[in-house]
Amino acid sequence: MKINLVAPCMLGAEGLVAAELKFIGAENVQSENGRVYFQGDDNILARANICSRYSERILIEMGKFTARTFEELFQNVKKIPWENWIGKKDRFPVKGSSLNSQLSSVPTCQKIIKKAIVERLKSKHKVQWLEETGELFQVQFLMMKNNVSMMIDTSGNGLHKRGYRAVSTDAPIKETLASTMADLSRVHNGDVLVDPFCGSGTVLIESALKALNIAPGKNRDFTCRHWHRIEEKVWKQEQEKALSEEKTNRDFRAFGYDIDSHAIDIAVSNAQKAGLQDIIQFEKRDIRDFTADFEKCKVITNPPYGERLLDIEQAQNLYRIMGEKFLKRQGYSYTIISPDEDFELLFGRKADKRRKLYNGMIKCQVYLYFR
């Protein structure tokens, strides 16, 4: 059976998500602001959860309609065939958000939606009472300009939670964003990478996972893993497929530095959990001691912004130091993310390419120097 699916993602990453979904075999892939729609069977649903590097989660799209009144909302939700997924004993909490819509009270929308699903399920399952003790089907709604999307979450924890980052430092970069930076830097097996502000090591760990084609979700759980509707053999097939696609010749080396020894300890432990301790090394080092130690090297980094770490003046001073250290050199490229609009001025060179991306709510640019 073809399932209508949607993968929400970071603004600016829609193209990447669409490409990775097409690559894994998804059909009718279409992107919109912050969301990528696609279709596939149970295997694609499992594969997207296990393999997607850049999307936030995988949702089943149950229905779309317009609603300006609570009555319209109720009637439209009731028309959706929820019974195709939610059994008579299953749990189906409702959550969502409303933006620029007439129905602006999220708690009231939640109650109306719940009531409509309850009525539908009671009638279709021919029961008087829904005990809600079984499998979890988290219902999500999104209202934008009175357009409503009704969805069921299949992932559980966001897909950025790969399972290797138990502890983190003060201002970690999201895993999905780190792997987007790795993609922008065209990281592959055979590379040498350096992150001189490595913090908990996310950028290097995500880069290594990508270079070695290691599925980011291979070690984690998903809500839909517990749905009896998806056969166990599907998960087995997809886990085996992901494992068989991993690169076995690990010709990839990475070096992470940070001024904070506590961050280095965390990075070492995270790399170990990700099974990458043999190819990533971490060491306490100040950016002032940065040297170009390799013939070829990709520097990818997320320096302090002066928001959560340091103040703006100190962060800007680091950008000046980076400009002095990150010299134009054959075989070297630099990929730096920063929200500072004066970054290029402080760094001292115009980037060869720039990409707008959001680090959480912070609007940033990724500055790429590769010429």
Residue of closest CB approach to ligand SAM: 199
Binding mask 316-345 for ligand SAM (x = CB under 6 A): --x---------------------------
202 binds ligand SAM per the rule CB under 6 A: yes
Q: Can you say whether residue 213 is alpha, beta or left, with left for phi > 0 and alpha for psi between -120 and 50 degrees?
A: left
Q: How many residues bind ligand SAM (CB under 6 A)?
A: 21
Taking CB under 6 A as the binding criterion, the range among 114-122, 223-231, 259-267, 326-334 that sits at the site for ligand SAM is 259-267
DSSP 225: G
Do the beta carbons of residue 2 and residue 40 sit within 8 Å? yes
| Residue 215: CB minimum distance to ligand SAM, A | 20
Separation between Cα atoms, residue 253 and residue 332, nearest integer Å: 15
Binding residue for ligand SAM, selected from 263, 357, 364, 366, defined by CB under 6 A: 263
193 φ, ψ to 5°? -120, 145
The contacts of residue 270 (CB under 8 Å, 6+ apart) are 164, 165, 166, 167, 200, 201, 202, 205
Q: Judged by CB, which is closer to ligand SAM: 9, or 203?
A: 203
| Nearest-10 crossing angle of helices 261-273, 202-211 | 30
Q: Judged by CB, which is closer to ligand SAM: 79, or 284?
A: 284
Separation between Cα atoms, residue 290 and residue 333, nearest integer Å: 15
| Residue 24: CB minimum distance to ligand SAM, A | 26
Taking CB under 6 A as the binding criterion, the range among 126-134, 184-192, 224-232, 300-308 that sits at the site for ligand SAM is 300-308
Contacts (CB under 6 A) with ligand SAM, residues 89-118: none
Q: Can you say whether residue 60 is alpha, beta or left, with left for phi > 0 and alpha for psi between -120 and 50 degrees?
A: beta
197 binds ligand SAM per the rule CB under 6 A: yes
184 binds ligand SAM per the rule CB under 6 A: no
25 φ, ψ to 5°? 105, 10
- Contact residues toward ligand SAM (CB under 6 A) are 169, 171-173, 196-197, 199-200, 202-203, 258-260, 263, 286-287, 302-304, 309, 318
